[in-house]
Amino acid sequence: MEIINRFTSKNFYPTTNWLLRRMVYLFLIFYFGRLIPYASDFFAEDTYINKFFFDGNISKWVVQSFNFQGVRSMYPMFLIMEFVLLILGIIGFYPKLVALGIYGCTLILQQSMVSITNGGEQLLYNCLFFMVFLEEKDSKDSFWKTISNFALFAIRLEVAFLYLVAGFTKLTGDLWPSGDAFYYVSQIGEYSSPWLMEFIKNNLWVGVVLTYLTIFYQTTFPFAIWFKKLKYKWMVVGVVFHISIGFLNGIMDFGLIMLTMYFAFYNENRSKKVYEFFSEIKSAGKRIINAKGD
């Protein structure tokens, strides 16, 4: 009975849901916004990244419809729809309906990039689906509370599971347990830089330490994140970890997605502080606009 109460009325996170949605939408604005100068390379019919690959499976026609002949030529319309929906989502216009539209539009655009996406982007797409069911306001309707709680829990569980798989998969190989993984990664030009290559070569112990720290963090995160006294400490370490990996190895998208997903683990008190901060910025902006009007 206690477990049922936790998923119905006892633990409800409307402000956390509000915050998570907006952080994800802001990330998507950045994600697609930076692709605009290269939109034809990613989304047009003659793109070199991922051409038509519709496999004839009718159950996938909605998502793979972007790959029908002639549809890709309309990619500017899909991009405009994406940005319009993201802005509507940020201002809170029909949250569930808009969230469903963002989920569909993002999946359609993603089909032209599927060959270059990473685990973080797949996590993001799955979370967009669960975000359709998140409640942003307190409600007496126990049904939607329950659905919302399960959706938020699913997002949290997926993030934790990704770390779990990433960490324990490393332990099954040879390079990670031996401490050599970071050294070999640092010597790959696409995932490194000349100064990092030289630094790791001259300081092999640094590569060993970073290798083991990565394994430790990824294998402990799925457990520490559920404990109130530990989760925010692990998230702070995660911020340093992902930003460092982003700058050192150039895998910035994955890090930013994971950091965005951290907002799903905020409790209501912390989320309300962030909400109040944004509200103050909004109020300050209105005062500035009114002052100019006077």
Give one DSSP letter per residue of 79-112, joined into a string: HHHHHHHHHHHHHTSSHHHHHHHHHHHHHHHHTT
Name which of 212, 274, 284 is nearest 241 in CA terms.
212
Please name the amino acid found at residue 48. Answer: Y
pLDDT tens track of the chain, all 294 residues?
Answer: 455 555 565 668 899 999 999 999 999 999 999 989 988 888 877 776 665 555 556 555 555 666 666 777 788 898 999 999 999 999 999 999 999 999 988 888 887 776 667 778 888 989 999 999 999 887 777 788 889 999 999 999 999 999 999 999 998 888 888 988 888 888 887 777 788 888 888 888 888 999 999 999 999 999 999 998 899 999 999 999 998 888 777 778 888 999 999 999 999 998 988 888 888 777 766 677 666 555
Please name the amino acid found at residue 35. Answer: L
pLDDT (0 to 100) of residue 127: 94
Name which of 259, 249, 138, 268 is nearest 196 in CA terms.
249
What does R_g of the chain's alpha carbons equal in angstroms?
A: 21
How crowded is residue 182: how many other Cβ atoms within 10 Å of its Cβ? 23
Question: Please, are residues 200 and 207 in contact by the beta-carbon 8 Å criterion?
Answer: yes
- Alpha-carbon distances, residue 198 vs 104, 164, 203 (angstroms): 45, 32, 9
pLDDT (0 to 100) of residue 41: 81
Return d(Cα 215, Cα 266) in angstroms, integer: 24
pLDDT (0 to 100) of residue 8: 61
Name which of 136, 148, 138, 114 is nearest 25 in CA terms.
136
Place of tokens 């998570």: 20
Long-range contacts at 231-239 (CB < 8 A, ≥ 24 apart): 231/265, 235/262, 235/265, 238/262
Q: What is the pTM of this model?
A: 0.86
Structure token pair of residue 102:
């963002």
Return d(Cα 3, Cα 150) in angstroms, integer: 12
Name which of 134, 127, 135 is nearest 107 in CA terms.
127
What sign does the CA torsion over 81, 113, 260, 141 have? positive
E-only strand ranges, 58-182? none
Return d(Cα 223, Cα 229) in angstroms, integer: 12
